[in-house]
Structure 1
Amino acid sequence: MTTTEGKAIAVRHERIDEAAAGQRIDNFLLRMAKGVPKSHVYRILRSGEVRVNGRRVQQTYRLQAGDEVRIPPIRIAAPVHAAPAPAGRPLPVVYEDDALIVIDKPSGKAVHGGSGVSYGVIEQLRVQRPELRMLELAHRLDRETSGLLIVAKKRSALTALHDMMREGRVEKRYLTLVPGRWANPLQHVKAALHKYLTAEGERRVRVSEEGKPAHSVVRLVRRWPDYSLLEVELKTGRTHQIRVHLAHLGFPLCGDDKYGDFALNKRLEAEGLKRMFLHAAKLSFEHPLTGERLSFEAPLPEDLQRFIDGLDSRQGRANG
């Protein structure tokens, strides 16, 4: 990160609000003092220079709303501020309360900046909602994937959502179009996935016994002579899981530029499919703070629905 010369700050006292509640004190300090070596942050914790409500705390202490944190003078590197993310068109909000936001992410928008992308969904939300002290992604979607995405507004909600996802208590279902006639109304796909880098340094995933367990549940939704519309429920959340599982079975996603049928993709583009056909259509989970059951659906975006309509006219109405 490019920085200007470091500068010292005086003793600070930070009052913890609900957005930061639930965060460990060491992580809180590392976020507050970007550029400070981790070893220094842990040293001031061990020495007692950091106090919470006037008392020393362990690095594992989880902050609570109303806590007052004393932060000693720390020499920090002041970052050179990049141009702010442009606000752009407001992101479609499906649901919002004081703990979280569910948006319907457009295709082509990364969830966060990095890897050649200057800004993404989270940066845009922070520009559009400057009054919110915390906005953090609860999970991710590939850049080309459209659909439902959860953003946490409180640290306690984020922690709970991460726990729920790790335990498989967030139901996520996607719609995808594949070439060929998928046979089974319901099929469980269990194949371990291994991440690796290509010779060019690009991230890829393959089915391998060396990988982590991965489980997808595939349901047939509609079928044409040459294509099948599938609903895929993720039981695990591995990188590129749907794309690699289906390609491994001989049904690569239409428009997939990493694991797909490239010759087919060119033909599909000429027929109007300009991107990967993958849409996060359904989400269901218990509210991380209240326990209320929440369920959301996002219809196919216009571009994908238009392509489906075109299939109906070219290949006849879909059948089971």
Structure 2
Amino acid sequence: MRPSPKGKLSSPPPAAPSVRFFQIDANHAGQRLDNFLVGVCKGVPKSHVYKAIRSGQVRVNKGRAQAEYRLEDGDLVRIPPMRLPQPSQARAVPPGQFPIVFEDDAMLVVDKPAGVAVHGGSGVSFGVIEQLRAARPGEMLELVHRLDRETSGLLMVAKQRKALVALHQLMRESGGRKMYQALVVGDWVNDRQHLRQPLFKWLTPSGERRVRVDPEGKPAHTIVTLLERFGDYSLVQAELRTGRTHQIRVHLASSGFPIVGDEKYGPDAVRAEFSARGFKRMFLHAGRLEIPHPLTGAPLTFEAPLPEACRRLLEDLRARA
């Protein structure tokens, strides 16, 4: 090793990254391609991973594949060279503690606060899953599903590969029940209503992800139940029967009842009005989850109470009504 000009030992240059190949086994079968790559390419920014998929540099069985492709036992995945960030560029993830609703050897259920992303990416350095991993080094922790950053409530994390595969299959088959509470603009008409508009996901010119109702979109099904009326606003329960991106938000907005505080699909004037009252989030909360245990099949029911800010807002609306 040669001395540097200042007399200090210089480190050898890092080895150039190379193409890697992975053959999928039963432990990874059923996992989304993007989630698999994020796990294998730890430290690589998610934006680089998705760019590699979109550009066709990532191959499955020698062909292009979409980010949402579900890997199958025996698939051969080609991963292009991806350079890790230099140590000086790495940002330490602070360990995070979140209210635990349930935990056993197979899974963990936490109550995610609004304003916290579930994972890093899209301008966010880290999220719930990275903070949990920092707080629990050495444990296997994988997201089972996602919640939007401004949505609060129940979030499932698998602690075993077998549990992750079983829970992913449950989500794909619309098993169990996932129920949210939402405050919407307008006087909701029906006590119970099924919304089945297909949803199409697209990107704005700036790269922002959006969803719209479109006949070319994927099937989506939300069951909406009226809980309480406040004149110009209504509290509803929305049960997901499919799990599309922004599904509840777009289904309600396209029906003429956008969620209070929704910055993508709701009116700016309403958001400004509620922000002036001190309510500065979207009123969407994943409050109840009913699923069979991924390993034993035993029925499980989880609940997360409405956050204090949401409860105070409802009390204010009741008083005004």
- Normalising by structure 2, we get a TM-score of 0.77
For residue 255 of structure 1, what is the aligned residue in structure 2?
Answer: 261
Pairwise CA distance, 1:76: 9.3
Question: Judging changes above 3 Å, is the alpha-carbon distance between structure 1 residues 31 and 213 closer, same or farther for their aligned structure 2 residues?
Answer: closer
For residue 69 of structure 1, what is the aligned residue in structure 2?
Answer: none
Flag structure 2 segments of 5+ consecutive residues without an equivalent: 1-12, 18-24, 45-51, 63-71, 76-80
Pairwise CA distance, 1:83: 2.6
**How far apart are the structure 2 equivalents of 1:84 and 1:169?**
37
**How far apart are the structure 1 equivalents of 2:150 and 2:227?**
22
For residue 112 of structure 1, what is the aligned residue in structure 2?
Answer: 119
For residue 178 of structure 1, what is the aligned residue in structure 2?
Answer: 184
Equivalent position SS for 2:302: strand
Question: Judging changes above 3 Å, is the alpha-carbon distance between structure 1 residues 30 and 263 closer, same or farther for their aligned structure 2 residues?
Answer: closer
Pairwise CA distance, 1:227: 0.9
Pairwise CA distance, 1:33: 7.3
- 1:231-276 Cα shifts (integer Å, max 9, x gaps): 0000000010011111111000000000001111111111222111
For residue 97 of structure 1, what is the aligned residue in structure 2?
Answer: 104
Is the 1:255–1:277 Cα contact (8 Å) retained in structure 2? yes
Is the 1:92–1:103 Cα contact (8 Å) retained in structure 2? yes
**Does residue 151 of the first structure (1) align with residue 151 of the second (2)?**
no
1:6 to 11, 15, 32: 15
**How far apart are the structure 2 equivalents of 1:233 and 1:40?**
36
Pairwise CA distance, 1:6: 1.7
- 1:98-153 Cα shifts (integer Å, max 9, x gaps): 01000000000000011110110000000111141x11100000000000000001
Q: Which has the larger radius of gyration?
A: 1
**Does residue 276 of the first structure (1) align with residue 282 of the second (2)?**
yes
Is the 1:176–1:231 Cα contact (8 Å) retained in structure 2? yes
Is the 1:6–1:77 Cα contact (8 Å) retained in structure 2? no
Equivalent position SS for 2:155: strand
Counterparts of 1:126-275 in structure 2 under 5 Å? 126-132=133-139, 134-275=140-281
**How far apart are the structure 1 equivalents of 2:84 and 2:186?**
55
Pairwise CA distance, 1:224: 1.2
Question: Judging changes above 3 Å, is the alpha-carbon distance between structure 1 residues 32 and 199 closer, same or farther for their aligned structure 2 residues?
Answer: closer
**How far apart are the structure 1 equivalents of 2:231 and 2:123?**
39
Instruction: Give the count of matched residue pairs.
Output: 270
Amino acid at match of 1:60: D
- 1:190-213 Cα shifts (integer Å, max 9, x gaps): 100001122332111110101000
Pairwise CA distance, 1:21: 7.4
1:22 to 10, 21, 27: 27
Equivalent position SS for 1:220: strand
Question: Judging changes above 3 Å, is the alpha-carbon distance between structure 1 residues 60 and 117 closer, same or farther for their aligned structure 2 residues?
Answer: same
Provide the alpha-carbon RMSD of the alignment: 2.9
- Normalising by structure 1, we get a TM-score of 0.77
Is the 1:255–1:274 Cα contact (8 Å) retained in structure 2? yes
**How far apart are the structure 1 equivalents of 2:310 and 2:59?**
51
Flag structure 1 segments of 5+ consecutive residues without an equivalent: 9-19, 44-58, 63-74, 316-320
Is the 1:6–1:76 Cα contact (8 Å) retained in structure 2? no
Is the 2:26–2:73 Cα contact (8 Å) retained in structure 1? no
**How far apart are the structure 2 equivalents of 1:253 and 1:42?**
43
Equivalent position SS for 2:168: helix
Amino acid at match of 2:129: I
- 1:28-51 Cα shifts (integer Å, max 9, x gaps): 89956779x9999999xxxxxxxx
**How far apart are the structure 2 equivalents of 1:123 and 1:286?**
26
1:86 to 85, 90, 94: 94
Equivalent position SS for 1:237: coil
**How far apart are the structure 2 equivalents of 1:265 and 1:234?**
24
Is the 1:111–1:120 Cα contact (8 Å) retained in structure 2? yes
1:121 to 106, 109, 128: 128
